[in-house]
Chain A
Amino acid sequence: MSLTVDITHPLAGFDLNVAFEAPEGVTALFGRSGAGKTTVINAVSGLLKPQQGRILLGGETLFDAKARVNLPIHRRRLGYVFQDGRLFPHMSVRQNMMYGRRFAPRGASGPGLEEVADLLGLTAMLDRRPGALSGGEKQRVAIGRALLSWPRMLLMDEPLAALDAARKEEILPYLERLRDRAGLPILYVSHSMAEVARLATSVVVLEAGQVVRSGPAEQVLSDPALVHQIGLREAGALLPATVARHHDDGLTELSVSGGRLFLPHLDMAPGSHTRVRILAQDVMLALEPPNGISALNILRGEIVTLREGSGPGAIVQLQSGEDKLLSRITRRSAQALHLSPGQRIYAVIKSVAIARGDIGAG
């Protein structure tokens, strides 16, 4: 089942005009605050009626301005997880979570309360009231409540934005499990590239109401043209990786299409697949295979493009095996090394750059 969105709606200052396809998996709507992300997700949910366009889910029309179709919110069957939880304060956690169940159509099926409570670590607090829960727990209940209405799709609007780093870290693994287990499409709104890199299988980048780029996460994130939207510090490539083996000195060896990477011990069995994120600012370039250097991770590659901005920096996109890498260097270095597309190059990656938090199961 996939979601097709093609809508136009006037917003303060600009017109929202977006068209994209969200396949199964997690599609991240990424952009700065005010780019129109929430408007899009509200239009999909039915909370907002767009001026023009249409929204289809797996062949069913949710909205079509021309055909005057506008399915009411409660008939769309989309689980919406709001940024602010929105739990019903007068109901227990259990009652909150089971609220939507009676509206699931006959013949529908989905996970049960026990299974979801287990998945989200809520089993011990089913009889509590939302007022007695922490922010992270509330968000988990909100996710469980949406899941238990047996939706056809999950909509998540910055579900982690209101939480501090520790609470985020507490919920992200649950979201990853959800993505890998539930098998239902998720539309995930976020302005945090770290979350997007960790969760998304596809990415739609929004800027001032327009889709700048959309596609599989690995392709979009390694596109040097998007560095401006993503932000210099956040820009970086996503590489699929496989755990090769664990070494005695506490390092784990991962194999990527362009070579091997070493990073501090990962609690994953050899052979399991994962994803690593390598920030552009953590990649140095060398013309020769470097010697006498403390960095462990060196991948050989070829320059695909070289983009110079107005500032002193430049972004280099490399092909390494089947993957693309981004490197942010100074324009001065680019000129000194005479970098040009097609050139063979070595990417030196500080191993600390591949932090555990940036690894997603998938």
Chain B
Amino acid sequence: MTDWLGPAEWQAVALSLKVSLWAIGLSLPIGILAAYALARWDFPGKQLLNGIIHLPLILPPVVTGYLLLLSFGRRGPVGSFLYEWFGLIFAFRWTGAALAASIMAFPLMVRSIRLAVESVDPKLEQAAATLGAPRLWVFFTVTLPLILPGVIAGAILGFAKAMGEFGATITFVSNIPGQTQTLPSAIYTFLQVPGGETQAMRLVLVSVTVAMGALAISEILARRAAKRVSGA
């Protein structure tokens, strides 16, 4: 595969995979929590939270990227805090690409998981409580296994979105080869130079393959989980 792809192209593919896996891996637990909270709890500011989560879906990606730059940049309020306390830098780093990807993928993930949570009968959770199970135990033994198909679907959907994220990423972390040049950025770059079409086309093929593969895996996993959950 490395022979077929040039080093620059390979770098972009590897970086995109790394960025997307980190983005989804870290935001999935938060996404599950947010989806559960939106589906099951009543709290002040629920609609506001719902709106904020969905904002990246409706804003132009460039705007989301710019807002990220303003807040998570080295001089941004959040960015400077994270740098001073944890030494974390987002601007113009692959970590920033992962942050942008996770923010953009988050609403898709939450929507899918929230639907799954809403389809779980709260009466089952009540039954578990009457048997002596504390809330967290109920969540991990009853709710989570039952929403697993939705969680898988949400994660894969988010992963595909993260792999394809372009606008917010390029605005927030620019397009530095080996550092922040993800697959879409690389395709964009190759298209800007004369004779780059073949390289771009190879990356397009990779991108289509990864997307189709992710979809197939999610179908298989979700079907398997659904079968387990249906109790047949």
Contact = CB atoms under 8 A, between A and B. Distances in A.
Interface residues of A, number: 32
Interface stretch (B39-47, B78-86, B127-135): B127-135
Interface in B106-156: 121, 123-124, 126-135, 141-142, 145-146
Contacts of A104: 132
Contacts of A146: 130-131
Interface stretch (B14-22, B192-200, B210-218, B224-232): B224-232
- What bracket does the count of chain B residues touching chain A fall in? 20 to 34
Contact of B129 (A73, A87, A132): A73
Contact of B124 (A80, A86, A132, A155): A86
Interface string A129-147: 1111000000000000110
B181 to A, nearest CB: 43
A84 B142 CA distance: 17
B146 A80 contact: no
Contact of B130 (A78, A84, A132): A78
B127 A90 contact: no
B133 A103 contact: yes
Contacts of B131: 74, 79, 99-100, 103, 145-146, 149
Given A82-B123, A84-B123, A99 B133 contact: yes
A103 B123 CA distance: 19
Contacts of A84: 123
A45 B134 CA distance: 15
Given A89-B230, A131-B231, A100 B132 contact: yes
B220 to A, nearest CB: 18
A111 to B, nearest CB: 15
Contacts of A102: 132
Interface of A: 45-47, 72-80, 82, 84, 86-90, 99-100, 102-104, 129-132, 145-146, 149, 155
21 contacts: A46-B130, A72-B129, A73-B126, A73-B129, A74-B130, A74-B132, A74-B134, A79-B130, A86-B121, A87-B231, A88-B124, A88-B128, A89-B229, A89-B231, A90-B145, A90-B231, A100-B131, A103-B133, A104-B132, A132-B231, A155-B130
Given A90-B146, A99-B133, 10 more contacts: A45-B130, A74-B131, A74-B134, A77-B132, A80-B130, A86-B123, A90-B231, A99-B128, A99-B131, A131-B230
Interface of B: 121, 123-124, 126-135, 141-142, 145-146, 228-232
Which 5 interchain pairs have the tightest Cβ spacing? Answer: A103-B132, A89-B231, A100-B131, A131-B231, A80-B130
